[in-house]
Amino acid sequence: MDDPAALASRLRSAAEGAGLAGFGVCAADPFDLTRTHLEERVDAGLHAGMRFTYGDPATATDVRRTHPWAERLVVAASAYVPEAGSPGPAAPGAGRIARFAERDHYRPLRAALGTIAAVLEGAGFRAAVLCDDNRLVDRAAAVRAGVGWWGRNTMVLAPGAGPWLLLGSVATDAPLPPDEPMRRDCGTCDACGPACPTGALGDGVLDARRCLAHLLQAPGVIPAEHRAAAGDRVYGCDDCLEACPPGGRALEAAAAAGGRGRVDLLEFLGASDRDLLGRHGHWYVPRRDPRHLRRNALVALGNTGGRDAVGVAAGYLGHRDWLLRAHAAWALGRLGGPLAGAALAAARAGERRAEVRAEIDEALGTLGRCC
């Protein structure tokens, strides 16, 4: 059997061989400070009602509650920029996808974590992969294992890649030598705070109620006060990452890598549920219900306009789903013009849902027409 130090360097070579951008080992002891932060955020409502790790902070910050045999966490980071490219300039009728989701960038990370787990099991130890899993706060493990430092945008940042990293761990009972945390922080830089379109960031603390990445993957109505700020986004938001200097070089290389992360909103809104889930199955979609994707696309259509935007949005005023009728009404108020006004007024007469009637009245008001 390998001695622990030899096993650790075998794992590191496996990680490098798998093209990972970061690797480190830490003790699997509880993350008490992060537990406190989670509980404080829940008490203050900053979690916006999310479950994920906020649902059970004690379990999410103590891997031994689900893996009692865990001694160490082997932490890995995968850089998805410049590979993810850049969405390129905004255009009428064009929606934008955040870079981490323009394809399934977790897939290579999960494969590499599987390789690490196999090496550990091959050496006679237990191993379990935890990646974007509610049983572990990935960032806390990454910081303790020296993979990166905690940025003011709450991202884990690493030299070279900056914030453009996905994180995951392998819990194991192998007594591997732990690595030291990085002695880095953001110093006086606060580029991310002002870059947030909704002011969701305050010195290392995120208010998810204002975070577009959350609002676009949360169920229900997108708060009206944040719809314009959503702009052309259909899924995720990269603004506090794009503003982050440590990620600048990777971002420049991504710009050179060309356009990815754009969708044709009219085509998107015309696609079947099956197609939407088929194409974007790796996105977090509440209850796997593509109504949330159509909702986002209607808001983006209202913000970007383009050929046939009014026609397509007006078509959704007759949709069986009130949520889509409501956001279509808002989009028409945003697009404006006589056709939009006429469609809204016509729909108003037969609209059964009070929430939708309210959206129609608001939109008609925006157009200077009363109901």
Q: Which residues bind ligand B12 (CB under 6 A)?
A: 33-34, 37-38, 41, 50, 52-53, 98, 100, 131-133, 136-140, 150-156, 163, 165-168, 186, 203-206, 208, 211, 213-214, 217, 236-238, 240-241
In whole angstroms, the minimum distance from the beta carbon of 184 to ligand B12 comes to 11
3-state secondary structure of 235: strand
Q: How far is C-alpha 54 from the chain's CA centre? A: 15
In the complex with ligand B12, which residue's Cβ is closer, 50 or 345? Answer: 50
- H or E segment and range at residue 240: helix 239-242
State the DSSP string of 26-44.
EE----HHHHHHHHHHHHH
Residue closest to ligand B12 when measured from CB atoms: 204
CB of 22 to ligand B12, least distance (A): 9
Closest distance between ligand B12 and the C-beta of residue 368, in Å?
36
Which of 131/229 has CB closer to ligand B12?
A: 131
For ligand B12, the closer CB: 151 or 333: 151
For 99, 115, 143, 234, the CA distances from 290, given in Å and listed in that order, are 20, 33, 35, 12
Cβ nearer to ligand B12, comparing 241 with 271:
241
| Phi, psi of 185, deg, nearest 5 | -150, -175
Beta carbon of residue 52, minimum distance to ligand B12 (angstroms, whole number): 4
Q: Quick one: 37 or 291, whose CB is closer to ligand B12?
A: 37
> Dihedrals φ, ψ of 22, to 5°?
-150, 150
Nearest distance, CB of residue 154 and ligand B12, angstroms? 4
Three-state SS at 94: strand
Q: Which is nearer to ligand B12, 152 or 280 (CB)?
A: 152
**CB of residue 344 to ligand B12, shortest distance in Å:** 32
Element (H, E) at 264: strand 262-264
Q: Token pair of 100, please? A: 């981490």
Query: Do 303 and 230 contact (CB within 8 A), yes or no?
Result: yes
Residue 110 and residue 80 in contact, taking contact as beta carbons nearer than 8 Å:
no
